[in-house]
Structure 1
Amino acid sequence: MASSLRELRQRRNSVSTTKKITRAMELIASSRIIKAQQRARAAAPYARELTRAVSAVATFSDVDHVLTTEPENPTRAAMLLITSDRGLAGAYSSAVIKQGESLAEFLRDENLEVVPYLAGRKAAAYYQFREREVAKVWEGYSDSPDYAHAKEIADELIGAFQTPAEEGGVDEIHIVFTRFVSMMTQQVEVIRLLPLEVVESDEPIEEGQAFPLYEFEPDAEEVLDKLLPLYVASRIHYCLLQAAASELAARQKAMKAATDNAQQLIERLTREANQARQAEITQEITEIVGGANALADASQDAE
């Protein structure tokens, strides 16, 4: 019984230590997610206006740019997976990897060879464990990315896109990331980054409203040459910021659940320890009473 009581107390102390760790991680994630949300919101206007500028140049010009032209017979597609560098974030990374597997299967059904590009140690570990080849891996900044990191990824992807497929390049670029919706909801999304899809507006022009006219200086092709790399980098930066906010929200939620579970386990172990202690005391009292009765019987026999 003493051994069982000692074991229960050791387990309770161990769970209490774990609870302190998970609570601290929950508080850290809660404090950092506010800054991550602010950074994601601050990047949205720039990305939105840059997208409008690129769309205007691509729509109102007759330039066939390499980044906006659909290849006739695409053969290779790049897939960028954005996961976390660290664990303890629930199903955050596994959901992205699962969606990436679905996307890869879909692309293969379209007779496209999939070329993985990975951002985050979780995706890298997943591919390394299965001994799969990857084109490039970026690590170390999943929860605090900046524009320089996005620019590095964008340069690599644009270089692959501008290289002919038969020479090791790609014809399409897809991104799998997690969009931050709220503290309780994060959605895994897939977007095709390149070639740029130009969707003409179907909204009718009101009477008296002039159709927009654009003049490009020096010319539309050079404007696209300058704008499209900025557009790709800004989109990747926005995806990284959304993923960072989602990672912190998922970690905060996972650590809160772990802290609550630890508290419940501590309460259960405390009850079991109290019951074991009560049983131990009862047994000791029973032994004392039994010994006293035996001594009394022995003294009576002696008389």
Structure 2
Amino acid sequence: MGAQIREYRQRIRSVTSIKKITRAMELMAASRVVKARQRVEETTPYAQAITRALSAAASHSDVEHPMTTEAENPRRAGVLILVSDRGLAGAYATSVLKEAEQLAEYLRGQGKEVVPYLYGRKAISFYKFRRREFAASWEGNTDSPKLELAHEIADRLLEDFLTEGDAGLDEVHVVYTRFRTMVTQEPRSLRMLPLEIVEADETDGHHELLPLYEFEPSAEEVLDVVLPQYVRHRIYNCMLQAAASELAARQRAMKSATDNAEELIKTYTRLANQARQAEITQEISEIVGGANALADAKK
């Protein structure tokens, strides 16, 4: 009985230590997600505006730019997968990888070769464990992405997309987690290149008149300068939304873990009290039994 009580008390101490860790991680995620949300709110309108402007400008220009013209027979599609470096965020990484697998299956069904580009240790581990090949990988600061890293990723994708021949890409897709609210984050796949017409979900269903554009010095030179900037900022916005989603998912997961730890502590405390009470009852019974035996012996 005493060994059982010691075991329960040891479990209580272990769960209490885990609770302190999960509570600390919950508070850290809660404090960082506020800044991450602000960065998303600051960059998303610009990303949406430049997408609308460039798609309208490309549609009104007579230039067949390689970044706006679809290949007649696309063969290779690059897929940038944005996941996290660390776990303890619930099903965040799993849902993104699942979305990427569905996109890859869809592209292969169209007869295209999928070329993965990975950002985040979880995605790298996923591919290495299954011994799958990937074109490039980046890691570090997935919960606080840097603009320089976004430019590096975008420049690599642009270089591969503009490469002619069998080594080049005909399409570029991005798989990330779109941040909506602290409770709702959804995995999403987005075709980045060639540039598509404005996404319907970002125009909120309203039909607006698009402006007419005059290009100076020429439409081709303007698109050469602006389109790479569009790709860089669009990828950076996706990375920021993924970071905010990761922190929100981690906060929820750590809060759930803390609540579960509290329930375990209550359960083990109750079991320890029951074991202690049973031990005391047994001791009293032994004392009473011994006293009765002595009394019977004296008779």
What is the aligned partner in structure 2 of residue 291 from structure 1? 290
Secondary structure of the equivalent of 1:161? helix
Judge conservation of contact 2:52–2:198 (CA < 8 Å) in 1. no
Secondary structure of the equivalent of 1:282? helix
* 2-structure distance, mates of 1:112, 1:220: 31
- Displacement after TM superposition at 1:212 (Å): 4.0
Judge conservation of contact 1:75–1:165 (CA < 8 Å) in 2. no
- Displacement after TM superposition at 1:75 (Å): 0.6
2:80 aligned with 1:80, yes or no?
yes
- Displacement after TM superposition at 1:34 (Å): 0.4
Q: RMSD of aligned C-alpha atoms? A: 1.8
Q: 1:277 to 1:212 in 2, by over 3 A?
A: closer
Q: Deviations over 1:171-203 (max 9, x none)?
A: 101111101111111111111000011359995
- Displacement after TM superposition at 1:12 (Å): 1.1
- Displacement after TM superposition at 1:287 (Å): 1.4
- Aligned pairs (5 A) from 1:38-77: 38-77=38-77
* 1-structure distance, mates of 2:142, 2:89: 12
Please say which of residues 134-143 and 47-56 is displaced more in the overlay: 47-56
* 2-structure distance, mates of 1:98, 1:214: 41
Unaligned runs of 5+ in 1: 206-210
Unaligned runs of 5+ in 2: none
Q: 1:215 to 1:88 in 2, by over 3 A?
A: same
What is the aligned partner in structure 1 of residue 226 from structure 2? 227
* 1-structure distance, mates of 2:105, 2:240: 27
* 1-structure distance, mates of 2:30, 2:23: 10
What is the aligned partner in structure 1 of residue 196 from structure 2? 197
Amino acid at match of 1:96: V
Judge conservation of contact 2:52–2:197 (CA < 8 Å) in 1. no
- Aligned pairs (5 A) from 1:63-212: 63-166=63-166, 168-198=167-197, 203=207, 212=211
Q: Deviations over 1:16-39 (max 9, x none)?
A: 111111111111111110000000
* 2-structure distance, mates of 1:83, 1:223: 33
Amino acid at match of 2:71: P
- Displacement after TM superposition at 1:13 (Å): 1.0
Q: What's the TM-score once normalised by structure 2's chain length?
A: 0.94
Identity of paired residues, percent?
Answer: 61
- Aligned pairs (5 A) from 1:235-254: 235-254=234-253
* 2-structure distance, mates of 1:144, 1:204: 35
Judge conservation of contact 1:173–1:195 (CA < 8 Å) in 2. yes
- Displacement after TM superposition at 1:61 (Å): 1.1
Which one has a bigger Cα radius of gyration?
1
Judge conservation of contact 2:89–2:246 (CA < 8 Å) in 1. yes
* 1-structure distance, mates of 2:165, 2:180: 36
Amino acid at match of 2:110: E
Q: Deviations over 1:180-234 (max 9, x none)?
A: 11111111111100001135999586xxxxx844221111101001000100011
